[in-house]
Chain A
């Protein structure tokens, strides 16, 4: 877990119906602590995240993790903006990622109980997951992603449409995860949340990477006009 993780993106380009939605991006990123992808709606944050994790394929270019890509994927998890619930109970949703890696039943049961407590769903273990509230679904999706203790966790606007209390609970879980050694790459357009959580920031606009660096530098002294405008809350096109 303490091993350094890097990812190298070489001329990554994503096109949809002939239109470029992301890239070209060249980037050598040391994935450490809490990394936040910032940018206005439609800037390509979700596409960037999906391509980085491998849920979506780039039209051209190469992504190379510092460990073999297949091995890297095994040690990654992803939480989608709209949480996807398996049509099963809360317990079975939490257990599923562990069943996939062939963990024995006793260990699965113990981990599921532990994580159900962490996400506050210990009393709803046998409740159908698709019938949970929005905040509970997001916490369950996060618990399901973290239960395998991933090296890297990708989060796509995990607190979008959630109330303050649910947002705080999710941020606490994320804080605990980083303390446990999980690196996080998260998209958000919530500047307040980015300021609270980010160790480093990648700023995307119109599908291209405009700025990258430590969060303290980005928020104090943004280098580009667009980043300054974004931080000022101006409309940027």
Chain B
């Protein structure tokens, strides 16, 4: 109990003294996770929508694979990305290992199936509602995807937030491909793991509370901007 109380005090101290390390780590966490989220959303939202409206031979298998990929173990993803980006790997020449870019790549791989799968579920329902209308209006496939994404944007926001939650809280993969290098690839989760290992539970807990607060702020801000509750009944 004392450690939790000390953790809260440490979190308050870190925030109110605008601790330079904390700000650096927090900004890096946001940079990595938000970049991964934007890239993953750009891939997953059209993919999930496309899977909802398109009928093809191996569609069911594709959806099953997508759902299975939601459970990808981050540590394994990290290991594979590490092998691909290491000097002896096929992309070693790019020199991306132990950089924020490598962490973004790993997070994109982890959260894309999650966002695509939630998108597919939501879009499948919307498509069954819109199907006859959009067909009767003689819309092209591109126009159908656009209409579904636009009208389902609030549900898609939830999908994106789920992806963000997974990305910002991820530790295994980014520890492997980022290396937790101070001022380079250290983010909130890897810093928490490090401080816990060192036995500095107060600082680890403090960083944990900052991480939780950050996630809540991003969620509230997104809901406020997208007016989810106000127009939720549309």
Q: Which residues of B contact A73 (CB under 8 A)?
A: 138
With both beta carbons as reference points, the residue of chain B lying nearest to A88 in the complex is identified as: B151
Does chain A have a CB within 8 A of B231?
Answer: yes
The distance in angstroms between the C-alpha atoms of A87 and B147, with both chains bound, is 10
Does chain A have a CB within 8 A of B19?
Answer: no
State the main secondary structure of chain A at its contact with B: mixed
The distance in angstroms between the C-alpha atoms of A96 and B146, with both chains bound, is 12
The distance in angstroms between the C-alpha atoms of A84 and B132, with both chains bound, is 8
The distance in angstroms between the C-alpha atoms of A78 and B136, with both chains bound, is 6
Q: How many A-B Cβ pairs are below 8 Å?
A: 42
Q: Which of B132, B133, B137, B234 contacts A130 (CB 8 A)?
A: B234
Mark interface residues in B205-234 (1 if CB within 8 Å of A CB, else 0).
000000000000000000000000001011
Contact between B233 and A131 (Cβ–Cβ < 8 Å)? yes
The distance in angstroms between the C-alpha atoms of A77 and B147, with both chains bound, is 18
Least CB distance, A69 to chain B, in whole angstroms: 11
Which residues from 21 to 73 on chain A have a C-beta closer than 8 Å to any C-beta of chain B?
A: 50, 53-55, 73
Contact between A87 and B151 (Cβ–Cβ < 8 Å)? yes
The distance in angstroms between the C-alpha atoms of A73 and B139, with both chains bound, is 11
With both beta carbons as reference points, the residue of chain B lying nearest to A70 in the complex is identified as: B138
Contact between A100 and B139 (Cβ–Cβ < 8 Å)? yes
Does chain A have a CB within 8 A of B130?
Answer: yes
Contact between A86 and B233 (Cβ–Cβ < 8 Å)? no
Q: Which residues of A contact B231 (CB under 8 A)?
A: 128
Interface size of B by CB at 8 A reads: 16
Does chain A have a CB within 8 A of B135?
Answer: yes
The distance in angstroms between the C-alpha atoms of A171 and B151, with both chains bound, is 31
With both beta carbons as reference points, the residue of chain A lying nearest to B233 in the complex is identified as: A131
Does chain A have a CB within 8 A of B196?
Answer: no
Given contacts A86-B147, A86-B151, A88-B151, contact A130 B136 (CB under 8 A): no
Least CB distance, B51 to chain A, in whole angstroms: 21
Which residues from 115 to 137 on chain B have a C-beta closer than 8 Å to any C-beta of chain A?
A: 129-130, 132-133, 135-137
Least CB distance, A75 to chain B, in whole angstroms: 10
Contact between B234 and A128 (Cβ–Cβ < 8 Å)? yes
The distance in angstroms between the C-alpha atoms of A55 and B133, with both chains bound, is 9
Least CB distance, B209 to chain A, in whole angstroms: 38
Contact between A55 and B143 (Cβ–Cβ < 8 Å)? no
**Interface residues in chain B, defined as those with a beta carbon under 8 Å from any beta carbon in chain A:** 129-130, 132-133, 135-139, 143, 147, 151-152, 231, 233-234
Q: List 22 A-B contacts (CB under 8 A).
A: A50-B132, A54-B135, A73-B138, A74-B138, A77-B136, A78-B132, A80-B132, A80-B133, A84-B130, A84-B133, A86-B130, A86-B133, A86-B147, A87-B151, A87-B234, A88-B151, A96-B147, A100-B137, A100-B138, A128-B233, A128-B234, A131-B233
Instruction: Please name the 7 residue pairs, one residue from A and one from B, whose CB atoms are nearest each other, closest first.
Output: A78-B136, A84-B133, A87-B234, A87-B151, A128-B234, A73-B138, A55-B135
